[in-house]
């Protein structure tokens, strides 16, 4: 497996991403995945928000945007998968190059911009999946949408995916869609959550709803978010998305690259936000993500208050063996 990881590192980032996931798919269909990443069976089931998880480790949104690799990823031993971010209509995303890998610091900067094949394509994939674990769907707004249309984008996705999702994540925290993070503002967020709540009640949508937040918010902003979540039908928070703060990078050539930073340099910042939310709300359901590249990071997220933990960049850099490493006793 290390040989293939070295080969993938020589390829352009998006090519490597596509090739590696398609390779997993082929191995899955040939029933050969166990040769590169043994699926460690676990009896440590975890009950959370009415859902039963085989374990607490899952994939973060962005790894499988379109649901093309649900069964292959599920066969690696994840307790749950989160697909997306998906938007109402397909979009290419931002211009290339838009992914930059910093292997020396186990990190990636991306400015993808919600590139995806659209919600209807994802729904087809969800209908045909064989994976019997928990599936979350991360929803967003199209880049071209503004004002009320942006809110309507979330409502369109919510209506189309809820029947095929175990939970739904509302993504307001990508730094790569212009002005999206303005939805963290109290009045804007109250409007969004209220609109989603009305839609959920009108459509009798029962699945848990999570809000994915930015690590770049102040504690004052997070206090406001906690208050709004507690006053809504939303279940909890996913903390956090990528950061635009790159000041802790040692490789200075990456500091001025526009986009969201993920991977090891995000670990401290994202975990501090997670810990702060837990300190302010003992019973807030929390999913921790950001910077997990090994078992110690995974355990640190749990100790900071996460009920579940997601990985993405660590999986890309370390390979599928990371799953069994984290889940090993």
- The 10 Å Cβ neighbour count of residue 156 is 20
Sort residue 232 into left (φ over 0), alpha (ψ -120 to 50) or beta.
beta
For residue 286, which of 33, 56, 20 has the smallest C-alpha distance?
Answer: 56
pLDDT tens digit string along 206-227? 999 999 999 999 999 999 999 9
Most confident of 9-23, 38-52, 160-174: 160-174
CATH homologous superfamily, domain 2-327 = Aldolase class I (3.20.20.70)
Radius of gyration of the chain (CA): 18
Please give the pLDDT value at position 195: 96
pLDDT tens digit string along 249-307? 999 899 999 999 999 999 999 999 999 999 999 999 999 999 999 999 999 999 999 99
Largest distance between two CA atoms of the chain: 53
CA 250 to chain centre: 26
Question: In the beta sheet, which residues pair with residue 139?
Answer: 86, 170
The answer to whether residues 36 and 72 touch, using CB atoms and an 8 Å cutoff, is no
Signed CA dihedral, 271, 277, 283, 288: sign only: negative
Please give the pLDDT value at position 206: 94
Report the percent of the chain where pLDDT is more than 70.
95
Domain ranges of the chain: 2-327
CA angle at 103 for the pair 69 and 25, rounded to the nearest 5°: 15
Instruction: pLDDT band for 175, please (50, 70, 90 cuts).
Output: confident
pLDDT tens digit string along 146-174? 889 999 999 999 999 999 999 999 999 88
Average pLDDT, the chain: 93
Contacting residues for 79 by C-beta, under 8 A, at least 6 apart: 46, 53, 54, 55, 56, 57, 58, 133, 134, 308
Cα 31 from Cα 128, distance rounded (Å) = 18
Q: Answer whether residue 2 shows pLDDT above 80.
A: no
Cα end-to-end distance, the chain, whole Å: 22
For residue 121, which of 71, 64, 168 has the smallest C-alpha distance?
Answer: 64
- Single pTM value for the model: 0.95
Look up residue 248 and give its two tokens: 């802790």
Instruction: pLDDT band for 40, please (50, 70, 90 cuts).
Output: low
Helix (H, G, I), strand (E, B) or coil at 122: helix
Cα 308 from Cα 287, distance rounded (Å) = 5
pLDDT tens digit string along 51-65? 999 999 999 999 999
Lowest mean pLDDT among 31-40, 105-114, 181-190: 31-40
CA angle at 304 for the pair 179 and 74, rounded to the nearest 5°: 75
- Active-site residues, by number, are 174
Mean pLDDT, to the nearest integer, of 302-320? Answer: 95
Instruction: pLDDT band for 32, please (50, 70, 90 cuts).
Output: confident
Please give the pLDDT value at position 178: 83
Please give the pLDDT value at position 14: 84
Look up residue 22 and give its two tokens: 């398609």
Cα 4 from Cα 305, distance rounded (Å) = 35
């Amino acid at each position: 497996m290390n040989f293939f990881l070295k080969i993938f590192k020589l390829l352009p980032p998006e090519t490597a991403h596509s090739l590696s996931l398609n390779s997993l798919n082929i191995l899955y269909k040939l029933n050969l995945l166990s040769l590169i990443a043994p699926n460690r069976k676990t009896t440590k089931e975890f009950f959370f928000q009415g859902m039963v998880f085989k374990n607490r480790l899952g994939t973060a949104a962005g790894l499988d945007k379109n649901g093309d690799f649900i069964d292959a990823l599920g066969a690696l031993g994840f307790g749950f998968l989160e697909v997306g971010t998906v938007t109402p209509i397909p979009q290419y995303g931002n211009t290339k190059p838009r992914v930059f890998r910093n292997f020396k610091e186990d990190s990636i900067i991306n400015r993808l911009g919600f590139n995806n094949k659209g919600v209807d394509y994802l729904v087809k994939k969800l209908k045909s999946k064989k994976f019997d674990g928990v599936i979350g769907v991360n929803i967003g707004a199209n880049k071209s949408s503004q004002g009320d249309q942006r809110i309507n984008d979330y409502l369109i996705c919510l209506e189309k995916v809820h029947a095929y999702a175990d939970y739904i994540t509302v993504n307001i925290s990508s730094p790569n869609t212009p002005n999206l993070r303005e939805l963290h503002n109290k009045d804007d967020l109250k409007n969004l959550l209220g609109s989603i709540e009305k839609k959920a009640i009108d459509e009798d949508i029962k699945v848990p709803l999570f809000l994915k937040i930015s690590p770049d918010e102040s504690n004052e902003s997070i206090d406001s978010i906690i208050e709004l979540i507690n006053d809504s039908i939303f279940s909890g928070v996913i903390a956090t998305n990528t950061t635009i703060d790159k000041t802790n990078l040692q490789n200075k050539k990456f500091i001025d690259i526009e986009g969201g930073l993920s991977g090891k340099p995000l670990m401290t910042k994202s975990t501090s936000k997670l810990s702060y939310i837990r300190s302010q709300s003992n019973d807030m359901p929390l999913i921790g993500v950001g910077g997990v590249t090994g078992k110690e990071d995974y355990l640190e997220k749990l100790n900071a208050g996460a009920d579940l933990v997601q990985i993405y960049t660590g999986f890309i850099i370390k390979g599928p063996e990371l799953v069994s490493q984290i889940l090993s006793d």
